[in-house]
Amino acid sequence: MSQTIAPFTGFGLGLRKPHHRAYLEAEQPVDFVEIISENFMACGGQPLATLEAVRERHPVAMHGVSMGLGSAHGLDRGYLAELKALARRIDPLWISDHLCWTGVPGHNSHDLLPLPYTEEALDVFVRNVIHAQDVLERPLLVENPSSYAAFAASTLSEWEFLSAIAERTGCYLLLDVNNIYVSSVNHGFDPREFLRGIPADRVRQMHLAGHSQGPEGMLIDTHDAPVCAEVWALYAEAAQRFGTTATMIERDDAIPPLDTLLAELDLARAVTRERLAA
């Protein structure tokens, strides 16, 4: 098993259904695309054919939402087998999933549920990451989610928890800048302290996305809007700290034409360029 993931610099977008035709018809000005792994696992027909055609033109990052790395009940072996089969087919840049759990045996929430940041949860998460990495024969990237509930039992901050996972498992990190911002508002921490607490040499990708206003001042990670000014500002600081890390914009709802997202991606390029020049 390869123990490392070489840095990859570039700017990408999520491969989403409304844009499949555009990707099939012409090479698009992106350095990579990211897929939702589950959309192509145990799957064939036109969806898989589309992915394979896009893969001929663009590197692909596999981003999952259902591994449930924080599950106290362990990982789904069938899920891991299907994920590994897809990875063999696609030869992705990397495979990522979230700092979360998704369900208990027999009941999947299909959501990224929050963990208490305790030593017990850390041990569980580390054990599951090591299991997944052994099966997949590659290091994972673990992403910080947005969260709406916190636990009084937590003894670590989210960034301390992430750092400990990276240190104990050899995994890498996918920093979602929008999620840092959303959670900082929801839980009242300083997002810059989050950035400072992350080991820069473990970050291999960053996500940008839009969010929406929830009840009582809460923010909800909805991926249905352009990246907001506050997140761009935080991204500029992240770009300065983490360098030219692979960056992509996630848009999963109210998906605009591809050209609109490409223009937004150009903003990410410009922010990175300006910040590195400074």
Give me the residues that bind another protein (CB under 8 A), please.
38-39, 41-49, 66, 71-73, 76, 78-79, 101, 103-104, 106-111, 113-116, 118, 120-121, 124, 147-151, 153, 186, 214-216, 218, 220
* Rounded least distance, CB 13 to another protein, Å: 22
Nearer Cβ to another protein (104/254): 104
Q: Could you tell me the CA-to-CA distances from 172 to 81, 85, 98, 200, 217 in Å, in that order?
A: 21, 21, 12, 10, 32
Q: CB of residue 156 vs another protein: minimum separation in angstroms? A: 14
- Per-residue burial over 160-181, b = 16 or more CB atoms within 10 Å of its CB, e = otherwise: bbbbbbbeebbbbbbbbbbbbb
Shortest distance (Å) from residue 199 CB to another protein: 25
For residue 241, give Cα distances in angstroms to 135, 267, 268, 275.
32, 18, 15, 10
Give the number of other Cβ atoms within 10 Å of residue 230's Cβ: 17
> Which residue, 111 or 266, has its beta carbon nearer to another protein?
111
Q: Is the CB of 31 or the CB of 34 nearer to another protein?
A: 34
261-265, long-range: CB < 8 A, 24+ apart:
261/13, 261/19, 262/13, 262/28, 262/29, 262/30, 264/226, 264/227, 265/11, 265/12, 265/13, 265/30
CB of 52 to another protein, least distance (A): 11
Q: For residue 120, what are its two tokens?
A: 């017990």
Provide, rounded to whole angstroms, the least separation between the CB of residue 121 and another protein: 5
Nearer CB in complex with another protein: 79/172: 79
CB 172 to another protein: min, Å: 23
Among residues 61, 68, 59, 84, the alpha carbon closest in space to that of 1 is found at 84
Distance of closest approach, residue 216 Cβ to another protein, in angstroms: 6
Residue pair 218/148 in contact (Cβ under 8 Å)? The answer is yes
Distance CA 138, CA 130 (A): 10
Nearer to another protein, 82 or 237 (CB): 82
d(CA 212, CA 13): 20
Give the residue with the Cβ less far from another protein, 3 or 25: 25
Nearer to another protein (CB atom), residue 12 or residue 114:
114
